[in-house]
Chains A and B, each alone.
Chain A
Amino acid sequence: MASNEQSTSNAPVEIKPIRVLIAKPGLDGHDRGAKVVARALRDSGMEVVYTGIRQTPQMIAEAALQEDVQVIGISILSGAHLGLFPRIVDELNSRGIDDVLLFAGGIIPDEDIPTVEDIGFLGVFGPGTDTRDIIEFVRKNAPSRD
């Protein structure tokens, strides 16, 4: 350790909940799914920053940077995922953010899933997903912050 500040607290209670950003890019305004996931993650003890709807890739990347989240979940129902997802990854990369877990939800056709995974989204969760599966996925794959 860099310091010998034993005196500050003799049995440090370090608290590190997983921090997650949930965002909705593009123009569709249906955020029920995003809110359900946000709540489920909160109820499992995570801290969830919810950005609201109509986010640009740049806004999402900037929020991820400022909030220093370990995980980003993107909800999209408009069909623009193949256009927007690479731009989100580009914006993250341009800020040097290469250590976050990305996952997606919403309406993403099965045939697009391999492409979405190639772009860097490790998990894709469509309608009907059990939120417990998402929680488990995040717990298992979230990078540590130390």
Chain B
Amino acid sequence: MLQAEINILELEAIINGLRNGDRRSLARAITKVESDSADGREILRQIYPHTGRAHTIGITGSAGAGKSTLVGALARVQRKRGKTVGIVAVDPSSPFSHGAILGDRIRMQDLTSDDGVFLRSMASRGNLGGLSEMATGAADLMDAAGLDVVLIETVGAGQDEVEVATAAQTTVLVANPGAGDEVQSMKAGLMEIAQIMVVNKADLVGADTAVAQLKTLLAIADHGSWIPPILKTIAKTDEGIDMLADEIQKHFDHMRSEEHFDVERRNHVRGQIIDLTRAILQRRLIATTANDSTLETLINQVAERQRDPRSAALELADVISQKWSEY
């Protein structure tokens, strides 16, 4: 029991340190949340009442779109405006080794020596379904630590990454000129989740065409009271970044306005709860099937073509629900 007491004291120290803006406590807390430990969940539970001050901004787009550079530029503008900045930069884990190279610091060198900035790199850690829990958890911790703006950067490919982006209060979608096919694929969903669209690398040929394409798509997309602006930026030289920061602020004010606050807040929380539930269920699925022979039996049957994969999946779902109800 002594160990448990030490643990409680340690958690208390981390939470107190974090709330007083101690950077080491914040870093340690993120590690605990990231490893999906009971400690991490306890920290998140305790700090949640102290969140809600920061503006969380998701930045997503395909690999090479210039997200890291844009996040760096945006962080600098926010600092000039007197705001402290937290950054959660998510990079993919290798599906083979589960390791990762996290290289966002390379593009944000100058921010490393600014004590108004806290940058944490995070690996997506495969398909355990915990990415949104990890990344939004880290953002909540930064919020509770008193950082004014929290930027969450993810590669916009795949359910998990889209979830992370949408978990932010304002989502910025980064596209590039000449990416016609990519713009087409945005019809599939990314368009609907973004409140601000950016055509980065706007000095390249085709920037105006890209903006025009996005406008056309937007015209037929379903958006609420906020109409997403489309901006051109050249993040490398800071061009257009001030305007982007202005639009982000406008969206924040819009969200916080009396007229929209309740609806926006509830929509946001609804999405968050559903995403987190999905992550938990996915993890349970993995954990349950790892300790159960049903899946192996079903695999054999389907592999032998004795039955079809859909009915096998239904049976597995039934078996799992049965097991869960016993807890």
Contacts and interface: CB of A to CB of B under 8 A. Distances in A.
Interface stretch (A63-71, A76-84, A106-114): A63-71
Nearest to A58: B113
A104 interface: no
Interface string A91-113: 00001110000000000000000
Interface in A36-84: 38-39, 41-52, 54-56, 58-59, 62-63, 65-68
Given A3-B41, A41-B99, A47-B123, A66 B106 contact: no
Interface stretch (B152-160, B205-213, B286-294): B286-294
The listed residue with most A CB atoms (<10 A of its CB), out of B93, B98, B121, is B121
B7 to A, nearest CB: 6
Nearest to B122: A47
Given A15-B35, A66-B23, A96-B24, A48 B288 contact: no
A49 B121 contact: yes
B105 A51 contact: yes
A11 B287 contact: yes
Nearest to B115: A62
B317 to A, nearest CB: 17
Contact of A49 (B98, B105, B324): B105
A13 B105 contact: no
The listed residue with most B CB atoms (<10 A of its CB), out of A49, A50, A62, A97, is A49
A contact patch SS: loop
A133 interface: no
Interface in A3-37: 3, 5-17, 19
B40 to A, nearest CB: 9
A81 B99 CA distance: 29
Interface residues of A, number: 47
Contacts of A14: 35-37
B102 A47 contact: yes
A5 B42 contact: yes
Interface stretch (B25-33, B72-80, B235-243, B305-313): B25-33
Contacts of B290: 11
A1 B287 contact: no
Nearest to B283: A9
A68 B40 CA distance: 15
A14 B228 CA distance: 39
Interface residues of B toward A: which range?
Answer: 35 or more
Contacts of B41: 3, 5, 8
A131 to B, nearest CB: 13
B106 A52 contact: yes
Contacts of A42: 94, 97, 99-101
Contact of A17 (B42, B99, B106, B119): B99
A58 B11 CA distance: 28
Interface string B96-137: 111111110110010011000011110101001010000000
Contacts of B39: 1-2
B14 to A, nearest CB: 11
A145 B286 CA distance: 25
Contact of B120 (A17, A44, A67, A146): A67
B116 to A, nearest CB: 12
B4 interface: yes
Given A5-B41, A9-B284, A65 B36 contact: no
Contacts of A95: 24
B45 interface: yes
Contact of B128 (A1, A15, A47, A59): A15
B287 A13 contact: yes
B2 interface: no
B138 to A, nearest CB: 11
Contacts of B42: 2-3, 5
Contact of B98 (A2, A7, A17): A17
A7 to B, nearest CB: 8
16 contacts: A2-B7, A2-B8, A8-B38, A9-B287, A10-B327, A12-B287, A14-B35, A19-B31, A42-B99, A47-B123, A49-B102, A54-B109, A59-B109, A67-B27, A68-B31, A96-B24
Interface of A: 1-3, 5-17, 19, 38-39, 41-52, 54-56, 58-59, 62-63, 65-68, 95-97, 145-146
List the 7 closest pairs (A to B, CB-CB), nearest first: A11-B287, A42-B99, A52-B106, A68-B27, A3-B42, A59-B112, A68-B31
